[in-house]
A and B are shown apart, each in its own frame.
Chain A
Amino acid sequence: MTGSMGLMTLVNPGTAMAASGTVTIPEPAASTLDPAQWGPQQLLDADALFEGLVGYNQQG
């Protein structure tokens, strides 16, 4: 378990991911993947579908 801000996230590293390379995650329903919209940007786009100006570059 990991927790912050009164919420707790359960993360099980031993589920289907190890066997199949697939993770299944819950998110609120999304009507668009447009990164101009706050919801999809934070939940799906950032560093998964799009790499922003400062994202993976941990040396920058």
Chain B
Amino acid sequence: MASGWKASNGDTVWTFYLRHNARWSNGQPVTAQDFYYAWTRLASPQDSTGALWSGAMGQVANAWAYHGEAVPASEVGLKVINNYTLQMHLVAPLDILPFLTTSSSMPLYPPSVTEHPTTWYLPQNFVGNGPYVVSSFTINGEIKMTWNKDYVGVPGEYNVGNVNQIDVIPTPTVPVEDYLGHSLSTALVTSAADYVYAKGHMKN
């Protein structure tokens, strides 16, 4: 989403510039306010299970204090400069910050989440900004994701492929056998027995 960024104040203040053409799956523009909403929600004292530790927000000044209800959200060092500019004030210099923004750094579409706080990710309510949208979701079961026709990626980058549907099946009991039988496109070999079986049954 970021078209670029700038570090200042000895790598403690990071300003990120968002590309202007990104769209939610309902056609609305993706803005800095959407990132602010999602990240502040992640750090909220009401969310005790969020992965605040995993990404950039955990490095932002007062994020953990806000999480612990020691300061209000207005004192957190995450600032919206304008619709397409987001600024982070960090607790300490961190020159690898952009790499931390690959995880726990996703925006949310606020109207969908506030209107459907516990079901916003179900197909009938889902609004995303990625290349796929949820078309079916069974809790702890199968998930289908289909191509988001409103997705606008970065020109010339690997964001347009030939896969128009991703089916996720939960924890198959015999993934290697399923893979060899062509009912799975990928499988993770996690045991020596599976490795030996795969090696003995694969043609290449």
Contact = CB atoms under 8 A, between A and B. Distances in A.
Asked if A and B are interacting partners, one says yes
Interface of A: 1, 7-12, 15-17, 20-38, 41-42, 44-60
B4 A12 contact: no
A11 to B, nearest CB: 5
Contacts of B47: 36
Interface residues of B, number: 76
A11 B186 CA distance: 5
Given A24-B183, A25-B184, A50 B169 contact: no
Given A46-B106, A52-B103, A53-B16, 7 more contacts: A12-B186, A22-B165, A23-B163, A29-B141, A41-B103, A55-B1, A58-B157
Interface of B: 1-5, 16, 19, 22, 35, 38, 41-42, 47, 49-51, 54, 56, 86, 98-99, 101-108, 121, 126, 128-134, 137, 139-141, 143, 145, 153-154, 157-159, 162-172, 175-176, 178-179, 182-190, 195, 198, 202
B170 A60 contact: no
B169 A26 contact: yes
B54 A38 contact: yes
Given A23-B167, A36-B47, A10 B179 contact: yes
A25 B175 CA distance: 10
B204 to A, nearest CB: 9
Q: Indicate the member of B42, B130, B164 with the most A CB atoms within 10 Å.
A: B130
